[in-house]
Structures are given as structure tokens and as C-alpha cells.
Amino acid sequence: MSKKVIHTEKAPQAVGPYSQAIEKNGMLYISGQIPINPETGKMPEGITVQTEQVMKNIGAILKEAGYGFEQVVKSTCLLTDMADFKAMNEVYAKFYPTNPPARAAYAVKGLPLGAMIEIETIAMK
């Protein structure tokens, strides 16, 4: 089975040479999502609303591929400031009320377009 490129207009377009997501063998690999609102092309201010937008973007890609948050098995969260970790967790937890996926969170020096957060996701059927 070859890989399937997943694309939706309900999530931001790639800002580089990559796909929003790739599906292969019942696994969905979602590229790191930053908090761009796909309707406006703009990024909200503040970690809480940025995390909410990232999770909405991930949700749109999951839906396009026929998956849901309950099928997410791994997330990697990148933050420009670990002081935002608690606020990010509060928003993130709303999307995984039970049996959350495995996860790593890292502080990074910078993210594309000045985002405060980026999350990459792997889901499995």
C-alpha cells in the first residue's frame, strides 16, 4: 500500500514542503500544527487560544482522514516557553478527557511564523 496524502481546507495550508498528514497502513502521521486559523490565515494571541486553535486544526485533519481524537496514540508538543506548560495542558486535556495518548513536550527556541506552540500527532486505526 502506498502512502495517502491527507489534505483539508479546514486546517492551515503547509508553510513549507510537507503534507498536512500522511496515512499508511492504518497509521496517520499529522505534521506539526501551528495555531493559524484557516479561515483568516491569522494566528491568535496567547497560549490558551493558540493551543485551542492547534487542537482544532488537528481535529480537522483527523476528521478528513476518518479518524478521531480517541485514535491518537502519540503527540509531541513544542513550546517556546515552558512557563506556558500548565495553560497548554488545561486546553489539551479537554480534547483527551479519557485515555490520553502518550506525549512528549519540549521547549524550543522558536517556531514557524512566531507561534508559541506546535503539536505533531500520530493516530492509529
pLDDT at 1 over 90: no
Residue 71 burial by Cβ neighbours in a 10 Å radius (0-12, 13-18, 19+) = middle
Reported as a pLDDT band with limits 50, 70 and 90, residue 12 is very high
Per-residue model confidence as pLDDT tens digits over 71-113: 999 999 999 999 999 999 999 999 999 999 999 999 999 999 9
Distance CA 100, CA 6 (A): 23
List domains and CATH numbers for the chain: 4-124 (3.30.1330.40)
| Number of other residues whose CB lies within 10 A of the CB of residue 105 | 16
Q: What totals of helices (H) and strands (E) does the chain contain, helices first? A: 2, 6
Of residues 77, 104, 99, the one with CA closest to residue 88: 77
**pLDDT for the residue 15:** 81
Mean confidence (pLDDT) of the chain = 96
